[in-house]
Amino acid sequence: MYILPGKEQGVLPISSLLILTIVLLYLGYRWALPRPIAGIPYDESASRTIFGNLPEIRAHKSPITQFWARPFKKPSIIISDFQESQDLLLRRTKEFDRSQRSVDFFSGIVSNHHIAMRSSDPRFKGNKELVKDLMTPAFLNEVSAPEIYAKAISLVELWTVKTQLTDGRPFDANQDIVDAAIDIINAASFGIDDDMSVLRHQLDSLASISDAELPVGADGAVEFTHPPDVPEIAAINEIGNHIGSQFKSMVPKLSHYYNLFTNPSILNAFKVKDKFIYNEIEKALARYRSGNDATRSAMDHILQREMSAAKKAGRQPVFHSERIHDELFGYIVAGHDTSSTALRWMIKWLADSQPSQQRLRAALRAAYAGAADEKRQPSVTELAKTPVPYLDAFLEECLRVTGPLPITQREATVDTVLLGHRIPRGTEVYMVTQGPGFLKPGIAIPDGARSETSRAKHTHGHWDPRDVADFRPERWLKAGDGDGDGGREVYDPQAGPMMSFSLGPRGCFGRRLAYLETRLVLALLVWNFEFRKLSDELSSHAVVDSITSAPQKCFVALTKLS
């Protein structure tokens, strides 16, 4: 057979190219396979698939495990030990910082808020300086507490009306708590009056409704129609939901911009948000120019800090900087979501644990005896300043067993060591807040495996493994030492492992505000209502994960107390 000249030469290059392609694909596949960190337990199957998988921590029975969170990435570490987590967050801040992934969750949305910055970011110090006094006891008690109290009273009024309309039958309280939290954080942020209060709009919408008009669902719960939100509140809620969706994305920053430019509703929400903040700042500046420079809100404080900084630097103040706008909006989103989640879980525990509810109410009546005798609400001053150990214990136990943030995340900024294992720079470290040591018996660790600071500085107690999974507020109480407490029970915040709002300089900035809010709202609700036991269906503890881990269902069946 005659072969055309050059024909046979063309066969070899094609075959070689095919073989080379196969080899390169195989090498690429091998390169993409997860490479475990030596000596740290992991699921064997995770090393044979590009996508990896989460380990069964309990099966390993190890305080340190590794997994592959995303394709083509190095392994991440899970620490299941409070003592080592506490040490990392409090004392090893030069080795571990906010992770790049957690920065990416927020950097597209509030890129000039300190939550979207690492500690090494040159902007970080200036941003923290701008907001540092917002969590001082003086600011919280004098400025934030009255705003929280006023909105909590509005929630009491709303539920009083709903209790009358439902005749004690259950209703869905989920949106009411979300509305209360958004009212509270808007008031604390901007000093906003009732014309933008979601709770007040709900009360107005119920004024003309009778119980005969209310439908009842298959689960036996009375169904209320929620009035439309004003545009500004709707925008805040939509952006909050958008942020929650970023937590489920492998590329959150890219996902944010994709949604922003392909979803007109989200784009419009950001425009409404920007205009809202601009207008509130302008209102405050007009108030200052009229001679009224009283601090009514976080915004007032931030603007006054900018005035002081500008005067010191010999420049004109910049009130509409991206930094100020983002710090204000981040204050709203973070404060609203965390507090509303915590309150919803607390309300569920009131109904689930009737003895705890009864003891809490008795403790409140005793602490605020004057209010009880006079048949009035405890004042904001009484609530904020009178210690009620069982109130703190109940609140803390709710956060322990159903905290809003189930994990805390950091990233190694240098090559370092954790529990005797070498951890490469850039490794993400996840610390669980509801695992071994928190809600399960702890895992034994030899002291020699711990860091020197961990061995020397650990201060907290340990939970009894026999009841560590139980809801028991009493675990937070101890006998007083007689020095100013008369030997009565006192609240012990260091009774055992607790990390619901993280720890250290990069822990939850709004932690103190969240505690103040939940304390005031919880006390007023228990003072005014009995939370009756619900059916298993309505009291489910199923979780929906977004920015926080919130309950899927939050129903209440109330009896108004006189």
Is 508 marked as a binding-site residue? yes
Q: In angstroms, rounded to a whole number, what is the distance separating the alpha carbons of residues 376 and 392?
A: 22
Nearest one of 37, 33, 30, 69 to 50, comparing CA atoms: 33
Q: In angstroms, rounded to a whole number, what is the distance separating the alpha carbons of residues 192 and 518?
A: 20
**111 within 8 A of 485, measured Cβ to Cβ:** no
Residue type, 319: F
Longest dimension (CA), the chain: 115
Give every strand in the sheet of 407-412, ordered side by side.
64-67, 76-79, 428-432, 407-412, 96-97
Angle between the N-to-C axes of helices 389-401 and 322-352, in degrees from 0 to 180, rounded to the nearest 10: 100
DSSP string of 450-462?
S-HHHHHH-----
Tokens standing for residue 470 = 């139980």
> Which residues are registered as beta bridge partners of 423?
416
For 368-510, where are the alpha helices, taking DSSP H only?
Answer: 369-373, 380-385, 389-401, 452-457
> Burial code of 191-214, b = ≥16 C-beta within 10 A, e = fewer?
bbeeebbbbbbbbeebeeeeeeeb
Tokens standing for residue 423 = 């951890």
Residue 509, CA distances (Å) to 153, 391, 433, 493 in order:
26, 23, 17, 18
Residue type, 487: G
Q: In angstroms, rounded to a whole number, what is the distance separating the alpha carbons of residues 225 and 215?
A: 10
Binding residues for heme: 508
Binding residues: 508
